[in-house]
Amino acid sequence: MIVDKLSNLHLYSGLGERINKALIYLSKNNFSELDPAKYEIDGDNIFALISEYKTMDEAEGKLEAHKRYIDVQFAAKGCELIGYAPFEQQKVLVEYDEQTDVAFFEGEKSFVKFEEGMFAIFFPNDVHMPGIKYREKSFVKKVVVKVKI
Query: What is the number of domains present in the chain?
Result: 1
How does the average pLDDT of the chain come out, rounded? Answer: 97
Ranges of H-type helices in 5-146: 17-28
- Residue-wise pLDDT for 97-106, tens only, equals 999 999 999 9
Whichever domain contains 83, its CATH number is 2.60.120.370
Nearest to 34 by CA among 9, 51, 54, 55: 51
Range(s) of the domain holding residue 84: 2-148
Which pTM value belongs to this model? Answer: 0.96
- How far, rounded to the nearest angstrom, does the alpha carbon of residue 72 sit from its chain's CA centroid? 5
Q: Is the pLDDT of residue 89 over 90?
A: no
How large is the average pLDDT for residues 57-61? 97
- Residue-wise pLDDT for 72-87, tens only, equals 999 999 999 999 999 9
- What are the E-state strand segments in 6-123? 38-42, 46-54, 63-65, 69-77, 79-86, 91-97, 102-106, 110-115, 118-122
Number of Cβ within 10 Å of residue 135's Cβ equals 9
Q: Which amino acid is at 18?
A: R
